[in-house]
Structure 1
Amino acid sequence: MLQDLDKLATRIRQVVALLQQARAESEAQAVRIQGLEEQHRRLREQAAQDQKALVQANEQLAEHEKGLQVAHLESERLRKELEDHLQDSQGRAQALAHQLERAVSERDRLRAAATGAQQQIELILERLPGAEN
């Protein structure tokens, strides 16, 4: 019977040791779980901050795209205005070139007429009595 009690005592010591080991492992697991929960909380906070930053970046992108669209529309308006101005200027330049051609032609015609008139006057003056021959 004493032998049975010794075996029982040994068995109880083994069970107590296993319980202590299980308790130590359980506490270690609890500490690990707390660490993982803390890490999970930090990751969630980081994800929330990242999401907020992404939303802000998207808002800024939308604002920049809107600004680019406004700038593009303004540049198109200015381009059209400049093209219209260029066409007007080219039209005026062509009109002035035609006026210049007509003026040069008229000048040449008048110069030829003046030269012809001068020659006729010289002929008439040569025929006048008392003209030098």
Structure 2
Amino acid sequence: MLEDLDALSRRIQKVVQLAQGLQAERGTLQARIRQLEQECQSLKTQQAREHEEFTRMSERIARHDQELQAARDETRDERSSLESQVRDHQSRSESMRQRLVQIEADRDRLRDAATGAQQQIELILERLPGAEA
């Protein structure tokens, strides 16, 4: 019977040791769970910050795209206006060039007529009595 009690005592000690080992392992696992929960919370916070930053950057990119498109539109409109002005100036320049050619032709014609008239006047003056011979 003593042997049975000794055996029972050893078995109880083993059970107690196992229970203590399990309690220590449980404490370790609970500490690890707390650590993992903190890491998880930290990652969630970081994810939220990164999401906010992504949202801000997306909005900023959208604004920049709108500003760029507005600048392109303004440039296109300005270019169109400048091209129209160039065409108008070219048209006026061509018109003035043609007018100048016409004026020069009229001037040459008038000069020729004046020269002819002057020659006729000189001939008439030569024929007048008392003209130098």
TM-score, normalized by length of structure 1? 0.85
Q: Is 1:32 the counterpart of 2:32 in the alignment?
A: yes
| Structure 2 counterpart of 1:92, one-letter code | R
Residue 6 of structure 1 corresponds to which residue in structure 2?
A: 6
Q: In the aligned structure 2, how far is the partner of 1:27 from the partner of 1:5?
A: 32
CA distance in 1 between counterparts of 2:26 and 2:6 reads 29
What is the distance in 2 between the residues matched to 1:59 and 1:67? Answer: 12
Between 1:82-91 and 1:112-121, the stretch displaced more is 112-121
Instruction: Name the count of aligned residue pairs.
Output: 133
Separation in structure 2 between the aligned mates of residue 118 and residue 3 of structure 1, nearest angstrom: 165
Give how far 1:129 is off.
4.1
Q: Distance in 1 between matches of 2:8 and 2:124?
A: 166
Distance 1:85 1:27 in 2: 86
* Distance apart, 1:123 and its partner CA: 3.2
Deviations 1:34-64 (A, max 9, x none): 1111111111111111112212222222222
Of 123-132 and 48-57, deviating more is 123-132
Matches within 5 A, 1:37-56: 37-56=37-56
| 38-47 or 69-78, which deviates more | 69-78
**1-side partners of 2:33 and 2:126: how far apart?**
133
**1:17 alignment partner AA:** Q
Q: Distance in 2 between matches of 1:104 and 1:7?
A: 139
CA distance in 2, matches of 1:122, 1:78: 64
- 1:66 and 1:126 mapped to 2: Cα distance? 88
Residue 49 of structure 1 aligns to which amino acid in structure 2? R
Which ranges in structure 1 are unaligned for 5 or more consecutive residues? none
In 2, the alpha carbon distance for the partners of 1:104 and 1:78 equals 38
Provide the C-alpha distance between the structure 1 equivalents of 2:30 and 2:130, rounded to a whole number of angstroms.
145
Distance 1:119 1:5 in 2: 165
Deviations 1:49-98 (Å, cap 9, x if unpaired)? 11122122222222222222222222222222222222211111111111
Q: Quote the sequence identity (%).
A: 45
CA RMSD of aligned residues (A): 1.9
